[in-house]
Chains A and B, each alone.
Chain A
């Protein structure tokens, strides 16, 4: 079974995000970038499927600038077999990404497509769903467990009320949630081996997709700073402040 995994290069989860002085965007200058954490989980799940003998080949695809090769190399070190970079320096919206992924799905014909449920930079949570709509494949989003059973995959989803398991016929799309697995580290011997694994670079035009933007960013502002706490003299003052200032009583 062939598994296609999509990975995104994003600002490192541990970096304190700064906004550009003109509020046009987040400042990415000299900022540490890394693989989107939900994508790490997607790669890990694919590798586990391969270790179980369920998956036979893992293809990882990333859409972004040339340096996004780093995240593909990491995926290859973690156990993916080959990589595809759809190289573009354009700003990408979820729909464009979904269209590009659809083109890859048509070409590669995977049985399972695994994506993160969202990327931590734009937090859109829609690429997997849009890909489902464009390809007409069944989707299991927010997966906390994935069990392939013959020509079906059972996906346990984290929903508001608890867990819901859906059975999807393959090929299918799965998006990962945090509790699906704990990703491993890339081992040094595997990082070295990954250098020799194939990595194909294509352009959006090669896939027949035109990058169009339907959104403009109006303004980016940092979250409001928390104001310093104060000491109150007694309970009466506390109640007064909760009522009149915090307006929670």
Chain B
């Protein structure tokens, strides 16, 4: 359902929302509607009917109750850095923006937990942890804008998953307002709590379709010591997996990323950071580990030597300072932003790590055969089987035609994903962009259960309707 089903007039709608949150916390000016109606995808024209900024869980509850009564569709909005159009309001919905629920409180040094409003920016939590001498390890390029509520909504992953897991692993407890308007305190921040269904997990990665996260207790950990970065030049894709295996069986890596030479050249061409070395290589692997002692460095060197001897690695560098570590990271982290100017077609897919090479080859083969003039850029969190496939739009091809042709590519790619028992969305969620392809990863029976679960929490289908699954 969408807002068009409400019988309220626009003025009544605004007045009722204002009665809940106050006059200055409802916005309907064109700028706000445009800004808060879309996420990073920018495919669907934004068209919300109002933006409402609650400050408390009770206000969120009141909004949800009001929305149920008048059949008003709601879209929860975090930092709107989402890549699957999960936070898009294109059908007259009311956007619930958590920007004012951004306080951090209740730090507990013993439990190493901290209470966050849904609107706390990811980086704000990272900095807060640092001030306490601790570490919040979920990290990615959009951490300066994304919110904890959005991270939980998408179960965000990022660059340290290989060591620290996804957002899911750091949520100790949740306060949610369900689609029925109930406030639930889930898990009470316990480490051990085997008392039946862990409903917290349904809201993590639930994309706001069952209810809204208003507060979360997040876990923190000890900071990593002397993180050291290696960038290795690799002659062929298969060798990356051998390198991964060699290092991973001996060292607890905090990250293992890969990117192609084409991707790196584009980043270097921007002139912000230099290439790691002059030796030419088809692919690069970026490894990060804690070098607590000289012994750790020596061990990494030995493994590097072994990889050189085997011919898996052509050259490599090791960071000698934080600055160098950060600049090496930028070779990987700046890719997304750099290729944005080619209007790339993007897919975020995963398979189990052992199947990555044949999976990648099969996709590359089909795309190069069918569209020889398309440039493919690969990069991703390969340590956890997650690949970002990017196809750049050739300059002479109109955007519409390009995306039309890419729609065909999608079907091929997802058929291969299905064949390899992979995921059509590794970490960016389903939202609207991946909704048509959900069945390549989830069985019809599973999707049936998902609908049934949604109907329990959100009987009137007012919570982010049209995202993740359709209810009819």
Contacts and interface: CB of A to CB of B under 8 A. Distances in A.
Contacts of B316: 187-189
B226 A192 contact: no
B326 interface: yes
Contacts of A116: none
Contacts of A185: 231, 274, 276-277, 317-320, 324, 328
A188 B321 contact: no
B170 interface: no
Contacts of A14: 321-323, 326
Interface in A63-92: 74
B315 A32 contact: no
Nearest to B231: A185
B162 to A, nearest CB: 21
Contact of A186 (B274, B308, B318, B326): B318
A15 B276 contact: no
B277 A74 contact: no
A13 B322 CA distance: 7
Given A14-B326, A187-B277, A188-B304, A32 B226 contact: yes
B322 A188 contact: no
B230 interface: yes
Nearest to A16: B130
A225 interface: no
B233 to A, nearest CB: 10
Contact of A191 (B274, B318, B324, B326): B318
Interface in B283-334: 301, 304-305, 308, 315-324, 326, 328
B321 A13 contact: yes
B452 to A, nearest CB: 49
In this complex, the interface size class of chain B, counting residues with CB under 8 Å from chain A, is: 20 to 34
A37 interface: yes
Contact of A188 (B226, B274, B318, B323): B318
Nearest to B315: A187
Interface in B187-242: 226, 230-232
A182 interface: yes
Contacts of B304: 188
A21 to B, nearest CB: 14
A34 B305 contact: no
Contacts of B232: 188
Interface residues of A, number: 18
Contact of B321 (A35, A182, A192): A35
Given A188-B301, A189-B308, A189-B315, A182 B323 contact: no
Contacts of B319: 185
Contacts of A12: 321-323
Interface string B321-350: 111101010000000000000000000000
Contacts of A187: 277, 315-317
A155 B274 CA distance: 25
Nearest to B319: A185
B322 A186 contact: no
B225 to A, nearest CB: 8
Contacts of B317: 185-188
Given A32-B226, A185-B276, A185-B277, A191 B322 contact: no
A28 B324 CA distance: 20
A34 B276 CA distance: 19
Interface in A172-202: 182, 184-189, 191-192
A20 B298 CA distance: 33
Interface in A8-59: 12-15, 32, 34-35, 37
B277 A182 contact: no
Contacts of B230: 188
A34 B320 contact: yes
Nearest to B321: A34
A105 B232 CA distance: 39
B322 A37 contact: no
A52 to B, nearest CB: 16
A34 B323 contact: yes
A35 B320 contact: yes
A12 B323 CA distance: 8
A224 B231 CA distance: 39
Contacts of A34: 320-323
Nearest to B316: A188
A74 B320 CA distance: 7
Interface of B: 226, 230-232, 274, 276-277, 301, 304-305, 308, 315-324, 326, 328
Given A15-B322, A185-B318, A189-B315, 15 more contacts: A12-B321, A13-B323, A14-B322, A14-B323, A32-B321, A34-B322, A35-B320, A184-B277, A185-B276, A185-B317, A185-B328, A188-B232, A188-B301, A191-B318, A192-B301
Interface of A: 12-15, 32, 34-35, 37, 74, 182, 184-189, 191-192
15 contacts: A12-B322, A14-B322, A15-B322, A32-B322, A34-B320, A37-B323, A184-B277, A185-B231, A186-B317, A186-B318, A187-B315, A188-B316, A191-B301, A191-B318, A192-B301
Q: What are the 3 A-B residue pairs with the smallest beta carbon separation, nearest first?
A: A34-B321, A14-B322, A185-B317
